[in-house]
């Protein structure tokens, strides 16, 4: 019998619920350090990012007004889909120099983290809402609302768990997101997009780009229709750039440095709160 | 015979007020002269008369204040039993209540706001704010489930001239309750009530250095923001300056909260109680001469009632009493400064040049001092600068709308997101609209209401972080 050739996967971007190639036509050659096999990754551009923000902005009103129960179920569903595709992630993590044992731990923790935030999606509102006892004849209450479109720069050192740990709290809070994934380990990100795609996550809620951090960070932090930026890393120059550019439109800059994302305790509802706004409403009583 | 229905003058007395001729810096519990010996004048904007000289703090003075605050933080305040910390703050609240009238009169003389407002709104809210946060000091472990709240350290706080003492309270009270020490820089046109507050802080026997108050202009503020030993910046003021602060502290570990500009939409539906709504519109834009970041400066009236509302509005504007801020009948006082008056005039010219139709109350303005008549513009649209930009004066821009969706889109089509108002008799519509407006504070069938327990702060370019309520603790703690 003649030898059957493999079908190799084309790694593309994920924008507005579709899988386009980068509009720039550029690529990054990603090489496995052990067997020297290579994969061509899209080198996302400023234009890809801008298109993603448009997609995220159009998805925002639907996602932010969907019911908390619905968002919770969708996050749970992402976890389910990830569970079902463990072997694929396993292969990719191993290809990206992970041992089988750590790969397994990373997948388990990623699934558990999704379930964790799925549970929060319809509960953080109760933790962070209040009725305020004002000294005037008004019923006054405060509750959290999503801040809007968030750009996120996922941790460089991790392929899957970093991405999941960043995206889950942002979307659990009703925001939409454009995320730049690890440059070192980009492979899981597009497979994760396929998971999202089969989990009833509406198109545009999560947009995933691959590319050079050095090229795209400027745009992720300076876009005028982005309301918050989550940056993962500890490069002082990058942090400064993000915080400076945030000033352009008073973006909320959120910086996570030196987090061990595999630690099961690196998760809490305050990470959801980081991309929420408190709204206070005064409602008259008997006036 | 034409009857004269005008009110007789009812001036608040000032004979019990003592304003020091020379006001020094309040650092480490003492009043000390500035290093360079420079003083600037503060005047009464209602008559342009000088009230006092105030010390101008430069870099060396800022450094002195930061050192005092650091020492007080390390040695005393962060180590003190929280319940004891709370008692000091309660004491401040009580002392302000006792001396409330004195504070009101000085606030009005230094800033130009009507005595009715400083007496009934500003100063009572000041003591209420201290009273509210005092009680939090020993209850922080209940505020943030699953986390421990730790103080941040030394806070630099920069406040504006529109609600001088109230903003000082909004800044100082939560910072102290959470165990931080502070350096407060009031605005250069309204330094006097903060200097009186310094007296109270001495009287309350607060440990030296826990609260330091220094005066000066933007340069002083900048030195405070850039000081390497300040851990937290709290700023209330313009969006432009807020952005400069964000840039200047980028790359440092400083935490910050910003309460910036606004251009609130006040939305009147046809099913609203119209007379009540007209009062709300008046209060929304003319309260404190319109020097309010959350002022309802964009009015949206549903087309079917637009004519009635605008005509009633013009009538009501005509009855507003503009004049001596110390008169108890005065509705609208003096514009805070010449600079602000020029800015208002500039925007009104822009409004006219862009084709807006202007209407102003025919009130007679005093000859001396800074004044501006209540003003409204019709025939303006979303793209007009007086609709998009913050004027910070008694100038209202009116637009009409037909549907709920239309008005929501228009209201949100702006970089700001501080506040908004909705007027309708339908509860369901209130919730629909107030949920859809991207702003931090929504008033239903009312406007410009404040309370220490109620979080205040903006979405988008109106700033970040909240002041007031439990949320107001968050900017002053590390959660671990």
Out of A136, A268, A287, name the one closest to residue B445 (CB).
Answer: A287
CB contacts of A281 in chain B (<8 Å) are 434, 441-444
10-residue block means of pLDDT along chain B (480 residues)?
78 94 98 98 98 98 98 98 98 98 98 98 98 98 97 98 98 98 98 98 98 97 98 98 98 97 98 98 98 97 98 97 97 98 98 97 96 98 96 98 98 98 96 97 98 98 98 97
Out of A142, A278, A281, name the one closest to residue B434 (CB).
Answer: A281
Residue count (chain A): 287
How does pLDDT run across A128-175, given as a tens digit for each residue?
999 999 999 999 999 999 999 999 999 999 999 999 999 999 999 999
Same domain as B177, residue B41: yes
**Interacting residues of A200 by C-beta distance below 8 A, sequence separation 6+:** A74, A77
Domain span at residue B405 reads 265-444
Question: Cβ distance B112 to B336 under 8 Å?
Answer: yes
A144 φ/ψ angles, rounded to the nearest 5 degrees: -85, 145
Number of structural domains in chain B: 2
How does pLDDT run across A266-282, given as a tens digit for each residue?
999 999 999 999 999 99
Same domain as B402, residue B311: yes
A278: closest CA of chain B, how far (Å)? 6
Residue B16 covered by a domain? no
Place of tokens 């970093």: A162
The token duo for A70 is 């619905």
Query: Per the CB < 8 Å rule, is B128 touching A236?
Result: no
Same domain as B152, residue B126: yes
> How far apart (Å, rounded) are the C-alpha atoms in residues B265 and B280?
12
How does pLDDT run across A67-101, given as a tens digit for each residue?
999 999 999 999 999 999 999 999 999 999 899 99
What residues of chain B, 426 to 455, have a C-beta less than 8 Å from chain A?
A: 430, 434-435, 438-446, 449, 451, 453-455
What residues of chain B, 133 to 192, have a C-beta less than 8 Å from chain A?
A: 144-147
CB contacts of B471 in chain A (<8 Å) are 142, 278
> How far apart (Å, rounded) are the C-alpha atoms in residues B98 and B116?
18
- What's the whole-number mean pLDDT along residues A251-267? 95
* pLDDT range class, residue A287, cuts 50, 70, 90: low
Q: Which long-range contacts (CB under 8 A, 24 or more apart) does B55-59 make?
A: B55/B22, B55/B23, B55/B24, B55/B25, B55/B214, B55/B215, B56/B215, B56/B216, B56/B217, B56/B220, B57/B25, B57/B185, B57/B214, B57/B215, B57/B216, B57/B220, B57/B223, B58/B34, B58/B216, B58/B219, B58/B220, B58/B223, B59/B223
Query: Per the CB < 8 Å rule, is A283 touching B466?
Result: no
B409: closest CA of chain A, how far (Å)? 12
Question: Cβ distance B189 to B215 under 8 Å?
Answer: no
Query: Per the CB < 8 Å rule, is B454 touching A270?
Result: no
Query: Per the CB < 8 Å rule, is B471 touching A136?
Result: no
Same domain as B269, residue B256: no
Q: Which residue does chain B place closest to A278, by CA atoms?
A: B440
CB contacts of A138 in chain B (<8 Å) are 446, 449
Q: Which residue does chain B place closest to A281, by CA atoms?
A: B442
> How far apart (Å, rounded) are the C-alpha atoms in residues A149 and A226?
5
Residue B424 covered by a domain? yes
Query: Per the CB < 8 Å rule, is A135 touching B451?
Result: yes
Query: Per the CB < 8 Å rule, is B415 touching A249?
Result: yes
CB contacts of A250 in chain B (<8 Å) are 239, 242-243, 246, 258, 260, 460-464
Pairing mode, if any, of strands B477-479 and B149-151?
A: antiparallel
Classified as helix, coil or strand, A234 is coil
Same domain as B246, residue B327: no
Q: Which of B56, B259, B390, B461 is catalytic?
A: B259
**Interacting residues of B100 by C-beta distance below 8 A, sequence separation 6+:** B119, B123, B124, B127
> How far apart (Å, rounded) are the C-alpha atoms in residues B371 and B394?
10
CB atoms within 10 A of CB A191: 18
What residues of chain B, 347 to 386, have a C-beta less than 8 Å from chain A?
A: none
B464: closest CA of chain A, how far (Å)? 7
Residue B393 covered by a domain? yes
Same domain as B174, residue B44: yes
A192: closest CA of chain B, how far (Å)? 31
- What's the whole-number mean pLDDT along residues A210-239? 98
The pTM of this model reads 0.96
Would you kindly state where each structural domain of chain A is located, as residue ranges? 27-284
| Predicted confidence (pLDDT) at residue A37 exceeds the cutoff of 90 | no
> How far apart (Å, rounded) are the C-alpha atoms in residues B304 and B132?
44
Listed residue (B47, B45, B44) closest to B17, CA to CA? B44
Same domain as B228, residue B79: yes
Strand order in the sheet with B30-32: B30-32, B25-27, B211-213, B181-185, B154-158, B232-236, B255-259, B463-464
> How far apart (Å, rounded) are the C-alpha atoms in residues A228 and A169?
13
b or e along B407-417 (b: 16 or more beta carbons within 10 Å of the residue's beta carbon)? bbebbbebebb
**C-alpha dihedral, B246 to B251 to B257 to B260, nearest 10°:** 10
b or e along A59-80 (b: 16 or more beta carbons within 10 Å of the residue's beta carbon)? bbeebbeeebeebbbbbbbbbb
> How far apart (Å, rounded) are the C-alpha atoms in residues A158 and A67?
32
Out of A242, A243, A279, name the one closest to residue B440 (CB).
Answer: A279
On the 0-12 / 13-18 / 19+ scale of CB atoms within 10 A, A262 is middle
**C-alpha dihedral, A274 to A275 to A280 to A281, nearest 10°:** -150
Listed residue (A61, A38, A164, A37) closest to A110, CA to CA? A164
Classified as helix, coil or strand, B233 is strand
Interface-testing mutation among A145, A238, A277, with chain B (most B C-beta atoms within 10 A): A277
Same domain as B152, residue B64: yes
> How far apart (Å, rounded) are the C-alpha atoms in residues B260 and B467?
12
On the 0-12 / 13-18 / 19+ scale of CB atoms within 10 A, B377 is buried
DSSP structure class, residue B119: I
Residue B451 covered by a domain? no
Q: DSSP for A68-114?
A: HHHHHHHHHHHHHHHHHTHHHHHHHHHHTT--HHHHHHHHHHHHHHH
The token duo for B79 is 């180590």
Question: Cβ distance B310 to B398 under 8 Å?
Answer: yes
> How far apart (Å, rounded) are the C-alpha atoms in residues B458 and B431?
19
A127: closest CA of chain B, how far (Å)? 8
For residue B419, the domain's CATH number is: 3.40.309.10
Out of B430, B440, B463, name the one closest to residue A280 (CB).
Answer: B440
> How far apart (Å, rounded) are the C-alpha atoms in residues B128 and B134?
10
Same domain as B302, residue B438: yes
Cβ of B471 under 8 Å from any chain A Cβ? yes
- What's the whole-number mean pLDDT along residues A112-139? 98
Q: What separation in angstroms does the CA of B383 have from each of A223, B354, B401, B436?
A: 22, 10, 15, 21
Pairing mode, if any, of strands A130-132 and A138-146?
A: antiparallel
Out of B128, B246, B440, name the one closest to residue A277 (CB).
Answer: B440
> What does the pLDDT read at residue B2?
60
On the 0-12 / 13-18 / 19+ scale of CB atoms within 10 A, B85 is buried
Classified as helix, coil or strand, A254 is strand
B219: closest CA of chain A, how far (Å)? 20
Query: Per the CB < 8 Å rule, is A130 touching B463?
Result: no
> What does the pLDDT read at residue B4?
75
Torsion sign over Cα A169, A172, A177, A183: positive
> How far apart (Å, rounded) are the C-alpha atoms in residues B69 and B27?
8
**Interacting residues of B233 by C-beta distance below 8 A, sequence separation 6+:** B155, B156, B157, B158, B224, B225, B245, B249, B254, B255, B256, B257
Q: What separation in angstroms does the CA of B192 have from each of B54, B168, B187, B215, B291?
A: 8, 12, 10, 10, 18
CB contacts of B472 in chain A (<8 Å) are none
Same domain as B209, residue B309: no
Q: Which residue does chain B place closest to A268, by CA atoms?
A: B146
Percent of chain A with pLDDT over 70: 100
B259 is catalytic: yes
Residue B275 covered by a domain? yes
Q: How many residue pairs bridge chain A and chain B with CB atoms within 8 Å of each other?
A: 113
Question: Cβ distance A24 to A143 under 8 Å?
Answer: no
Place of tokens 């703090």: B57
Interface-testing mutation among B120, B132, B142, B250, with chain A (most A C-beta atoms within 10 A): B250
Same domain as B255, residue B387: no
Residue B452 covered by a domain? no
The token duo for B400 is 């009409």
Same domain as B277, residue B255: no
> What does the pLDDT read at residue B6?
81
Listed residue (A94, A107, A96, A196) closest to A156, CA to CA? A96
Q: What element of type H or E holds B427?
A: helix B427-436
The token duo for B232 is 């937290």
Query: Per the CB < 8 Å rule, is A250 touching B463?
Result: yes
Classified as helix, coil or strand, A157 is coil
Q: Which of B107, B293, B390, B467 is catalytic?
A: B293
Cβ of A67 under 8 Å from any chain B Cβ? no
Per CATH, the homologous superfamily of domain A27-284 is Aldehyde Dehydrogenase; Chain A, domain 1 (3.40.605.10)
Pairing mode, if any, of strands A276-284 and A252-256?
A: unpaired
B54 φ/ψ angles, rounded to the nearest 5 degrees: -130, 135
Question: Cβ distance B376 to B359 under 8 Å?
Answer: yes
Cβ of B261 under 8 Å from any chain A Cβ? no
């Amino acid at each position: 019998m003649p030898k059957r050739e493999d079908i190799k996967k084309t790694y593309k971007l994920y924008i507005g619920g579709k899988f386009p190639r980068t509009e720039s036509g550029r690529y990054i050659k990603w090489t496995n350090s052990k067997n020297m096999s290579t994969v061509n990754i899209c080198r996302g551009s400023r234009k890809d990012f801008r298109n993603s923000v448009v997609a995220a902005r159009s998805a925002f009103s639907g996602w932010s007004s969907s019911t908390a129960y619905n968002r919770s179920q969708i996050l749970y569903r992402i976890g389910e889909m990830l569970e079902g595709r463990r072997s694929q992630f396993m292969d990719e993590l191993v290809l990206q120099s992970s041992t089988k044992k750590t790969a397994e731990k990373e997948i388990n923790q990623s699934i558990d983290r999704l379930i964790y935030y799925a549970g929060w999606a319809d509960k953080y509102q109760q933790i962070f809402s209040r009725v305020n006892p004002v000294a005037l004849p008004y019923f006054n209450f405060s509750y959290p609302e999503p801040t809007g479109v968030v750009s996120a720069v996922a941790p460089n050192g991790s392929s899957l768990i970093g991405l999941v740990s960043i995206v889950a709290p942002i979307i659990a809070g009703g925001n939409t997101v454009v995320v730049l994934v690890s440059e070192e380990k980009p492979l899981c990100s597009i497979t994760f997009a396929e998971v999202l795609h089969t989990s009833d996550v509406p198109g545009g809620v999560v947009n995933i780009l691959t590319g050079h951090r050095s090229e795209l960070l400027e745009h992720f932090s300076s876009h005028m229709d982005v309301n918050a930026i989550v940056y993962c890393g500890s490069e002082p120059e990058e942090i400064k750039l993000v915080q400076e550019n945030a000033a352009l439109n008073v973006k909320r800059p959120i910086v996570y440095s030196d987090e061990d994302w595999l630690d099961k305790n690196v998760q809490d509802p305050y990470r959801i709160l980081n991309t929420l706004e408190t709204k206070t409403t005064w409602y008259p009583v008997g006036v | 015979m034409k009857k004269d229905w005008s009110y007789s003058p009812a001036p608040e007395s000032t004979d019990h007020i003592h304003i020091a001729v020379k006001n020094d810096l309040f650092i480490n519990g003492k009043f000390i002269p500035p290093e360079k010996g420079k003083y600037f004048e503060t005047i009464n904007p209602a008559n342009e008369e000088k009230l006092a000289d105030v010390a101008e703090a430069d870099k060396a003075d800022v450094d002195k204040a930061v050192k005092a605050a650091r020492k007080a933080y390390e040695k005393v305040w962060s180590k003190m039993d929280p319940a004891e910390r709370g008692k000091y703050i309660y004491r401040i609240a009580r002392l302000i209540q006792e001396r409330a009238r004195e504070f009101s009169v000085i606030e009005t003389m230094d800033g130009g706001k009507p005595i009715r407002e400083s007496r009934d709104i500003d100063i009572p809210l000041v003591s209420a704010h201290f009273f509210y946060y005092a009680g939090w000091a020993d209850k922080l472990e209940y505020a943030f489930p699953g986390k421990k709240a730790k103080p941040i350290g030394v806070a630099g706080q920069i406040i504006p001239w529109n609600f001088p003492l109230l903003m000082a309270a909004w800044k100082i009270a939560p910072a102290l309750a959470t165990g931080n020490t502070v350096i407060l820089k009031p605005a250069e046109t309204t330094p006097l009530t903060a200097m009186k507050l310094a007296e109270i802080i001495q009287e309350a026997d607060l440990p030296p250095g826990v609260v330091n108050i220094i005066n000066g202009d933007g340069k002083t503020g900048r030195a405070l923001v850039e000081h390497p030993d300040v851990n937290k910046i709290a700023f209330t003021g313009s969006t432009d300056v807020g952005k400069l602060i964000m840039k200047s502290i980028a790359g440092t570990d400083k935490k910050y909260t910003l309460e910036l500009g606004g251009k609130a939409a006040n939305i009147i539906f046809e099913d609203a109680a119209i007379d009540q709504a007209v009062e709300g519109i008046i209060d929304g834009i003319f309260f404190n001469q319109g020097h309010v970041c959350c002022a309802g400066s964009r009015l949206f009236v549903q087309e079917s009632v637009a004519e009635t509302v605008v005509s009633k509005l013009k009538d009501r504007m005509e009855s507003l009493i503009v004049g001596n801020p110390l008169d108890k009948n005065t509705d609208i006082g003096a514009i805070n400064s010449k600079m602000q008056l020029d800015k208002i005039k500039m925007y009104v010219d822009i409004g006219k040049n862009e084709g807006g139709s202007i209407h102003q109350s025919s009130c007679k303005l005093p000859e001396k001092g800074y004044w501006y008549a209540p003003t409204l513009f019709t025939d303006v649209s979303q793209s007009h600068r007086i609709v998009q930009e913050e004027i910070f004066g008694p100038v209202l821009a009116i637009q009409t709308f037909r549907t709920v969706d239309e008005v929501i889109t228009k209201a949100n089509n702006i970089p700001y997101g501080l506040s908004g108002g909705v007027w309708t008799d339908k509860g369901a519509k209130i919730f629909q609209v107030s949920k859809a407006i991207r702003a931090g504070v929504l008033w239903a069938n009312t406007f410009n209401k404040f309370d220490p327990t109620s979080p205040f702060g903006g979405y988008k370019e109106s700033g970040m972080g909240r002041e007031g309520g439990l949320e107001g603790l968050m900017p002053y703690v590390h959660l671990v």
